[in-house]
């Protein structure tokens, strides 16, 4: 496989100062990119929902890695479905169009696992992406991101524009978002356990009934996969990035309690939504196409995340 040489490339990373973005930037450095040629726009100075900002951002760039997203857990998905649809669609679709117009050499779009249909045979294969409607709470976000795959494939077909689409599974790791209003399941649970320990509470409420399964990818692994895709993958088909390891929410909270030394009781709030029943990816295409396989063991990744939170909780 011929690698795309990064050392002389001007690279725009949207969302590059975020949780995944910082890891992607580190992996770009490791792959030989020149730190002085990497641009990281901040949302407060560069609102990508506006076309002129997208045009300004992609000007003179060789590669665009689009990570920026308005995203959160199940709570945010229920509270702000319209914003999640509009913001993600407008950012992505205008950025892709601006990048094509500006003659950008390669566009790397990071999609979402929420794009998969609610009932997809497990493990999820990329070819199943269109076989049904996404889980309802995730659908506005998932469909907005999935539209970008269609756009990239259309621009490749009509204009020869090289855009690739990667689908990382649920991410976790140090520096994750621990805000209870918008966090995903792992940081949300770690924070719950931590606060129960501090307050001496003997019970923790957790949404749903614990039966759904999820797969989690350590942020550093995800970033490595994204940079490998940037260097080695040039095909129109979407590619899953994951571990292939599936764990139920019930087992996840048990493991977090064990690692944090919490012995209280879990109270399942069965009136709250479970979300998608199962999530686990088929990771064969990434292995075959550009040699990506996750490296960080789940338990170790959780330990690192808990450790980071304990040090930074204040």
Query: How far is 124 from 240, CA to CA, in rounded Å?
Result: 9
Residue 212, annotated as binding a ligand: no
Residue 21, annotated as binding a ligand: yes
CA 59 to chain centre: 25
275: tokens are: 């979300």
Query: How far is 10 from 282, CA to CA, in rounded Å?
Result: 33
Residue 314 has a pLDDT of 79
Residue 44 has a pLDDT of 87
Residue 152 has a pLDDT of 98
Task: Name the nearest CA neighbour of 52 among 104, 102, 107.
Answer: 102
Residue 90 has a pLDDT of 98
Residue 299, annotated as binding a ligand: no
Contact of 281 with 113, CB cutoff 8 Å:
yes
Q: b/e for 67-82, b at 16 or more Cβ within 10 A? A: bbbbbbbbbbbeebbe
Q: Does the annotation count 141 as an active-site position?
A: yes
Query: How far is 198 from 33, CA to CA, in rounded Å?
Result: 43
Helices 81-101 and 51-58 meet at what angle, rounded to 10?
40
Query: How far is 242 from 293, CA to CA, in rounded Å?
Result: 8
Q: With H, G, I as helix, E, B as strand and everything else as coil, classify residue 240.
A: strand
Residue 214, annotated as binding a ligand: yes
Task: Name the nearest CA neighbour of 72 among 171, 167, 168, 143.
Answer: 171
Q: What are phi and psi of 301, to 5 degrees?
A: -60, -40
- Report all structural domains of the chain as residue ranges with CATH numbers, in order of start: 11-172+216-244+278-295 (3.40.50.720)
Residue 184, annotated as binding a ligand: yes
> Other C-beta atoms within 10 Å of 243: how many?
21
Residue 145, annotated as binding a ligand: yes
Query: How far is 287 from 293, CA to CA, in rounded Å?
Result: 6
What lies within 8 Å, CB to CB, of 92 at 6+ separation is: 66, 109, 144, 145, 147, 148, 151
Residue 192, annotated as binding a ligand: yes
Residue 168, annotated as binding a ligand: yes
- Which residue is catalytic, options 29, 86, 133, 141? 141
**pTM score, whole prediction:** 0.94
**pLDDT (tens digit, 9 = 90+) per residue, 165-202?**
999 999 999 999 999 877 889 999 999 999 999 999 99
Residue 20, annotated as binding a ligand: yes
Task: Name the nearest CA neighbour of 298 among 228, 257, 260, 244.
Answer: 244
Q: Which residues of the chain have pLDDT under 50?
A: none
Name the one residue in this structure whose structure tokens are 């076309």.
Answer: 51
Contact of 214 with 182, CB cutoff 8 Å:
no
CA 279 to chain centre: 14
């Amino acid at each position: 496989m011929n690698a795309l040489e990064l050392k002389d490339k001007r690279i725009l990373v949207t969302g590059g100062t975020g949780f995944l973005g910082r890891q992607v930037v580190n992996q770009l450095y490791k792959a030989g990119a020149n730190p002085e040629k990497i641009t990281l726009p901040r949302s407060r100075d560069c609102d990508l929902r506006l076309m002129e900002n997208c045009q300004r951002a992609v000007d003179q760039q060789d590669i665009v890695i689009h990570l920026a997203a308005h995203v959160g857990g199940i709570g945010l998905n229920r509270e702000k479905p319209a914003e999640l649809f509009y913001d993600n669609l407008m950012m992505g679709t205008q950025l892709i169009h601006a990048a094509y117009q500006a003659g950008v050499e390669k566009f790397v779009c990071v999609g979402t696992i929420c794009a998969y249909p609610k009932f997809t045979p497990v493990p999820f294969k990329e070819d199943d992406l269109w076989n049904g409607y996404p889980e309802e709470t995730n659908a506005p976000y998932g469909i907005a991101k999935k539209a970008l795959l269609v756009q990239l494939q259309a621009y490749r077909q009509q204009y020869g524009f090289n855009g690739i689409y990667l689908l990382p599974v649920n991410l976790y790791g140090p520096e994750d978002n621990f805000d209870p209003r918008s966090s995903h399941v792992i940081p949300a649970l770690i924070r719950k356990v931590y606060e129960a320990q501090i307050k001496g509470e003997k019970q923790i409420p957790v949404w749903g009934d614990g039966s759904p399964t999820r797969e989690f990818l350590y942020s550093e692994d995800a970033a490595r996969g994204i940079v490998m895709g940037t260097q080695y993958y040039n095909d129109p088909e979407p590619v899953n990035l994951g571990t292939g390891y599936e764990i139920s929410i019930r087992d996840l909270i048990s493991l977090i309690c064990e690692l944090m030394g919490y012995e209280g009781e879990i109270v399942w709030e069965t009136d709250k939504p479970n979300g998608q029943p199962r999530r686990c990816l088929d990771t064969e295409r990434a292995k075959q196409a550009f040699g990506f396989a996750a490296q960080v063991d789940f338990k170790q990744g959780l330990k690192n995340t808990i450790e980071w939170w304990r040090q930074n909780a204040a």
